[in-house]
Amino acid sequence: MTSSFFKKEGDSIPLPSFHNYEEIRQARVKETQVAASDSWQLNEAHDRWVLETTALAVKHVQSERGTAPAHFVFFLMGSAGRQEQGVFSDQDHGIVFEGDEADHQEYFLTLGAEIREGMAIVGYPRCEGKVMASHSRWCHGKSGWEDQIDRWIHEDTWETLRHLLTFIDARALVGKRELLADVKNYVFSHIESNANLLKRLSENISYIHQGINAFGQLLPDEKGPYAGSIHMKDVGFFPYVHASRLLAIKEGLHDTSTIRRIRHVEDKYAFVKNKAEHFQYLLELRTDFSNKQQTYEDVHYIPVAQLTKKQKQRLKSAIKEGKTLFQQTKKLVESGE
């Protein structure tokens, strides 16, 4: 399946290949069954379905409100921004547009709402935290984004710094990509001029869940619907994600993939060496259980009893290496070096 494209002064906006969101949902379900066993193919597929949904949303809004009044970029955040989604994934996205905020924001919020509803039909649940382009926090003109970043940094609360960390994982999917790059560079310029800011961001992610006890045993949930299963997102993925994001901010890297972030800096920081392979294993282990995942919550859990001895050993190693990476990264950041 391919989309046709038209060019508009540097923008690449796809023309939809489907007539409605339900058609996209059906095609997505069918392809997901094929792509689920390979993390990279699965995330490439997610991109295609979100792109198709966005293209159809643009067409719908254009038919009702006319062509977009300014150039814009639609971007993904969270696991979608990092291209680390499982079989099921919710929505995390935003928009940067050119021009005056007062004149154009209403149009792009309408587009964001259409994308949100279209993605929900296609099979991506709405974000409970409203991290979506339909919310004014995540839909601004370029200058509006810069003003909001200034406020987030000035307020310096747990919530505003968490918003900033979320934004750093933004990856352009369609539109004028330079708009997103410019806003990210604005964040990086703050980091360069404010030595304490990176430390404050590090403090925002100071806690990681323990996945192994003092005896070297895995620590699955003890009760509830996932008793006997280990939460891969909290225990496995997050130490790598948080550490690599801090390093990306420190180095001014635009790349959002955890693996590529690690590989960008592993020659500079000895403690980062070989960590990408351990994170890759965590992604592969999750795909090994994709046929057992029926809901969004299922994606985060792996039943320990169903792991082979070798899988348990490699999982323990990956968890330990992730913890080390996280601790060493925080130590580096807090030292101010």
CATH code, domain carrying 166: 3.30.460.10
148 with 33, same domain: the answer is: yes
123 with 243, same domain: the answer is: no
CB distance 69 to 101 below 8 Å: no
76: three-class secondary structure by DSSP: strand
46 with 109, same domain: the answer is: yes
CA nearest neighbour of 124 among 85, 88, 173: 88
296 with 327, same domain: the answer is: yes
- C-alpha 335, offset from chain centre: 28
- 191-205 burial, b if ≥16 CB within 10 A, otherwise e? beeeeebbbbbbebb
CB distance 287 to 39 below 8 Å: yes
207 with 186, same domain: the answer is: no
Model pTM above 0.85:
yes
155 with 262, same domain: the answer is: no
178 with 261, same domain: the answer is: no
Written as one letter, the residue type at 109 is L
189 with 220, same domain: the answer is: no
State the pLDDT at residue 11.
58
> How many domains does the structure of the chain reveal?
2
* Domain around 278: 202-335
Mean pLDDT by runs of 10 across the 337 residues of the chain is: 37 81 94 87 94 96 94 96 93 95 95 98 95 98 97 96 97 96 97 92 86 87 89 93 96 96 96 96 91 78 92 96 96 87
- 9-20 burial, b if ≥16 CB within 10 A, otherwise e? eebebbebbbee
244 with 179, same domain: the answer is: no
Residue ending a domain, choose from 170, 193, 216? 193
62 with 145, same domain: the answer is: yes
175 with 126, same domain: the answer is: yes
CA atoms of 279 and 169, how far apart (whole Å): 17
State the pLDDT at residue 42.
93
270 with 322, same domain: the answer is: yes
Residue ending a domain, choose from 167, 193, 219? 193
Specify the DSSP element, H or E, that contains 277: helix 275-288
Strand pairing category for 139-141 and 229-231: unpaired
Residue ending a domain, choose from 135, 160, 193? 193
- Strand-pair partners of 302: 230
